[in-house]
Structure 1
Amino acid sequence: MAAVHPVIAAHAARVRAVDPLAGGQVGLPAPGPNEGAIEVADAVGLTSVDRLDPGTMNATWSPLVVHRLWGRVGGRDPEAALGALLDRWLAGLSGERGPDKALAVQWPSRDTAAVRALTMRGFAPMVVTAARPSGAVRSGLPAAVGRVRMRAATQADTGDVARLYEALVAYDAQFGWVTMRPSTRNGIAESLGSLMHDSWCWVAEVDGVVAGIVMVEPPQRARWVASAVTTSPIAYLSAMYADPAVRGQGVGAAMVAVAHAHLDASGVATTVLHHAVPNPLSAPFWARQGYRPVLTQWVRHLPPG
């Protein structure tokens, strides 16, 4: 077995000490196509670039061009080490400009020793990967009862699910990372059939009208995000939305409670989700449901040209 790079070993040990749940910190893969390796004193990194087709559904979730850095830092001054790594990376991108382009760095949320290096270079926290261990107890107001009927979604609900899913995307687009593109509506409609078939999906009826959805990818479908945490199996809560007309009435909590009961009974160890850091509704809501940040994506939009 090859020896672990000392910087990566130090990075992994520091992160493990502050958050044993944060995954994906024990190594860096060898660079592949469109990837590169960079190294400075006490820091190593892998660089990559995403170039998305605007006609695809994937283009909804980020700018069309995203340059990414996956960093590992050690030494006595993690902030200085990360700063030097960022400077080396940014120097190679000094001529990169244009609309719909950005930079992104994912960092363990509780590893705060280095993050000042990001803020001082114009990065802001944009997306959190949050996790809930099985059996976590929710807090806050009780889930709604009475007028709310929770049930599994069927293909007959596809139109309502698409309507609410589109509203969710439009709301998230306000915060500057998700984008409602001309292709988004068709992308949602085309993907929902397989998504609903392969996921656990529930709808909330309020006075007989579908007013909320919650969708969860089971472990076999959630492998793409499994490295975010150190436990397994995991599930991925891909969507939760309540119509604004019923917010504040416990409908969202009722939907999530049904999903969590199913996940806990199914033996899922940890459920993860993504939410926008600037979203004023997400952070307090998900904290009440037992979630907390594990990984944070720090971003910086590039100048238009």
Structure 2
Amino acid sequence: MHNDVTATGHAARIATVDALLPAPAPFEVGGDSVLLSAEVGDTTAAGLSTCTGLGPDSPRSMWRALVEHRLEVQLAGPDPAAGLDALLTRWDEHLRSLARVGDTECAAVLSRPSRDTAGATELLRHGFAPVGVLAVRPAQRMAAGPDATPGVCIRHATPDDLSTAVTLQLELQRYDAQFGRVTLRPGVEELITKELLHHLERPEPQVWIAELYGQPLGMVVLQMPDETGWIRHRVAASRVGYLSSLAVSEAARSSGVGTALAAHAHQVFDEAGADVVLLHHAVANPRSTPFWYAQGYRPLWTGWQRRPAVRSR
């Protein structure tokens, strides 16, 4: 079985699933990565297993386990679900040689194209749950500008808004921690403060505050197309914007603040020439999922997670 043959078949299959998915290339093994493979009849599966770790004082630790085993997957042939099942079995064997049973700071993670539903049942049987989505919104430059929301004023944030921004982001983190994408760490307020201060001290901070009748009750943080190289490879588009965070105080829920912030963000991205905007959200969040899809987003990639990575038999 050859990696490039599987990659070719996988690319042909994915091309029919979603036009916004990037064309996959054969896996390149390097460093500590390990290439796994499986074969079921005429179906082949290839997976690139990697592992990364970070400390609890890293801002990224709020969004993941401290040790994360990832599997990139390519499937070719008539029965991709069976191929994925066999590949996951191989990966399970590999993980048992690396990870401690029951370690909740060690997670097994893989992303699957959201519209490529083959293998979803097999993922569930192997103990994975769909935790997060990378959603996409194509540019709508021909649309009219955002309607004004009564009582809402949106302005650039300044360093003087740091306390408000931290309060809003901390409220959002605590709510999202219920759904598996966020880990509340000791010192989370300090981590959030450091990250937001980095944004606010930039010459042109892409942080915006929404005031409702003069009270700052919402915030949106953006990454412009020249900052999104870290995620641009996940979508078939040249200029990619990323909506990092949108937070609205509980006191302003259903007031139109969130919709006004989203519309403002999209206008900023359109003016910057973004072809698409990406964002992450938790699958199980009963607020963000319907909200974002009402703003024109749809799932592009679904993140599946098993935490701990290795369970007791």
Q: TM-score, normalised by structure 1?
A: 0.92
Name the structure 2 match of 1:273.
Answer: 279
> Counterpart of 1:191 in structure 2: which amino acid?
E
Using the alignment, how far apart are the partners of 2:106 and 2:137 within structure 1?
Answer: 32
Identical positions, percent: 37
Alignment of 1:8-27 (within 5 A): 8-23=7-22, 25-27=23-25
| Among candidates 156, 159, 165, match of residue 161 of structure 1 | 165
Contact 1:131 1:291 in 2 (8 A): yes
Q: CA deviation at 1:175?
A: 1.1
TM-score (norm 2): 0.90
1:152 to 138, 156, 162: 156
Q: Distance in 1 between matches of 2:243 and 2:136?
A: 10
Instruction: Report the alpha carbon displacement of residue 271 of structure 1 after superposing the two structures with TM.
Output: 0.4
1:170 aligned residue (134, 154, 174) = 174
Residue of structure 1 aligned with 2:191, choices 187, 191, 202: 187
Partners in 2 of 1:66 and 1:105 — Cα distance?
10
Structure 2: 5+ residue stretches without partners: none
> CA separation in 1, counterparts of 2:311 and 2:112?
26
Q: How does 1:66-215 map to 2 (within 5 A)?
A: 66-94=68-96, 96=99, 97=101, 98-135=103-140, 145-196=149-200, 197=202, 199-215=205-221
Q: Which amino acid aligns with 1:18?
A: V
Contact 1:63 1:177 in 2 (8 A): no
Distance 2:62 2:175 in 1: 12
The whole-number CA distance in structure 2 between the counterparts of 1:117 and 1:279 is 23
* Rounded Cα–Cα distance in structure 1 between residues aligned with 2:18 and 2:141: 17
| Shift in CA distance, 77/137, structure 1 to aligned 2, threshold 3 Å | farther
Q: For residues 137 and 111 of structure 1, what CA distance do their matches in structure 2 show?
A: 30
> How far apart in 2 are the matches of 1:13 and 1:199?
41
The whole-number CA distance in structure 2 between the counterparts of 1:163 and 1:301 is: 29
What is the one-letter code of the residue matched to 1:40?
Answer: A
CA contact (8 A) 1:133 1:271 kept: yes
**Residue 35 (str. 1) matches residue 33 (str. 2):** yes
Using the alignment, how far apart are the partners of 2:297 and 2:142 within structure 1? Answer: 10
Distance 1:107 1:172, change over 3 A: same
CA contact (8 A) 1:199 1:217 kept: no
Structure 1 segment 290-301 matched on structure 2, within 5 A: 290-301=296-307
One-letter amino acid of the counterpart of residue 294, structure 1: L
SS in 2 for 1:93: helix
Question: Structure 1 144/122 Cα, relative in aligned 2: closer, same or farther at 3 Å?
Answer: farther
Unaligned runs of 5+ in 1: none
The residue identity in structure 1 corresponding to 2:244 is S
For 2:189 and 2:256, how far apart are their aligned partners in 1?
Answer: 28
Aligned to 1:59: 61
- The one-character-per-residue Cα deviations of 1:118-163 (angstroms, maximum 9, x if unpaired) are 122111100100000000899xxx9662211111112221221111
Q: Distance in 1 between matches of 2:32 and 2:254?
A: 46
User: How many residue pairs align between the two structures?
Assistant: 299
SS at match of 1:224: coil
| Matching residue of 1:233 | 239
Aligned CA RMSD, in angstroms, stands at 2.0
Say if 1:137 and 1:104 are closer, same or farther in 2 by CA, change over 3 A. farther
1:130/1:294 contact within 8 Å kept: yes
Which residue type is aligned with residue 236 of structure 2?
T
